Amino acid sequence: MILIVDSGSTKCDWISVDSQGHQLLDKIHTKGLNPAILKEEELSNIINSNPELISHKTDVTHVFFYGAGCGTEKPRLLLKQVLQSIFNKALVEVKEDTFAAVRATINHENEAAVVCILGTGSNCSYFDGEVLHQRVSSLGYTIMDDAAGNYYGKQLIRDYYFNHMPENLKILFAQKYHIDADEIKYNLYKQPNPNAYLASFAEFMFTHKDSEYIKNLIKKGLREFSKNMILQYSDVLKAVPVHFAGSIAYFSKDEILEIAEEFHFKVGNIVRRPIDGLVKYHINQLDSWK
């Protein structure tokens, strides 16, 4: 059994296939496994608490894991160690989520493209057809992550408390979420995964996109992301498409196209969940697994 895994900070999708590429189990969902935020015990507990994964752990021969927080060596090796300890008969490969976005969005294996992630977090890389180039090192959600779910969640909460949110939306926002100050501070400073907590508020934008306030908020984040991340690759933007992966990107298609005109780049594919593209990629690589 081969496990192909795509993890953000909020959720993690697991697909199992056999050596012929046939799916074996229904898609499995767990909480996100971000080793830059979660401790070893927390990572292990998330996996071990899923009975379906554990019941098949000795059948697993390969684990191909792509995840948020795996872009630097220490957290990547931590997660690899956790996975190896659970799936102890498997060959384990751990890569950052940028590789998942590349493999899920490009039109063919050697296509050059700028590839962006807009989910709970955000990132942007250039794939030259062979090698992935990263010109900005991510410093995490507190400093970076423009246009990500956690960015928009933070903006919504700030606008609510600073009275910048229109009154009709403030009422709806307060009805949908627990926005008591102590509740927010508890989740931000006392609970794990504060970035995923912030991102949970972003859904509000996509149920109220008819509001000018919301449209402007979405575009504000995309402008920041374009200026700070996409334009890092201005030397290639005229020649290659800019692909996007992640739920924020998927639900912001219209705004992305509008901002692309402002910043003079060509939008390529926009994929909500990279896992389906990853499965296709690895099925095409079956011979190299054997």
Written as tens digits, the pLDDT of the chain (290 aa) is 999 999 988 889 999 998 888 889 889 999 999 998 899 999 999 999 999 999 999 999 999 999 988 988 999 999 999 999 999 999 999 998 889 999 999 988 889 999 999 998 999 999 999 999 999 988 888 899 999 999 999 999 999 999 999 999 999 999 999 999 999 999 999 998 899 999 999 999 999 999 999 999 999 999 999 999 999 999 999 999 999 999 999 999 999 999 999 999 999 999 998 888 888 888 877 665 45
| Three-state DSSP state, 155 | helix
| CA-to-CA separations, 4 to 46, 94, 139, 179, in angstroms, rounded | 17, 10, 27, 37
pLDDT at 41: 96
CATH class of the domain at 2-101+274-289: alpha beta
| Three-state DSSP state, 152 | helix
| CA-to-CA separations, 174 to 179, 190, 208, in angstroms, rounded | 6, 22, 14
pLDDT at 39: 93
State the Cα–Cα distance between residues 251 and 173, nearest whole angstrom. 19
pLDDT at 288: 57
Q: What is the pTM of this model?
A: 0.83
State the Cα–Cα distance between residues 221 and 151, nearest whole angstrom. 8
| Three-state DSSP state, 44 | helix
Burial class, 111, CB count within 10 angstroms (exposed 0-12 / middle 13-18 / buried 19+): middle
What values do phi and psi take at 55, rounded to 5?
Answer: -65, -20
CA dihedral 111, 113, 117, 122 (to 10 degrees): 150
pLDDT at 174: 97
Contact assessment for residue 267 and residue 244, using Cβ atoms and an 8 Å cutoff = yes
H/E stretch holding 176 reads helix 167-176
Provide the residue ranges of all domains of the chain, joining segments of one domain with +: 2-101+274-289
H/E stretch holding 80 reads helix 73-86
State the Cα–Cα distance between residues 149 and 25, nearest whole angstrom. 30
| Three-state DSSP state, 117 | strand
| Both tokens assigned to 47 | 């996996």
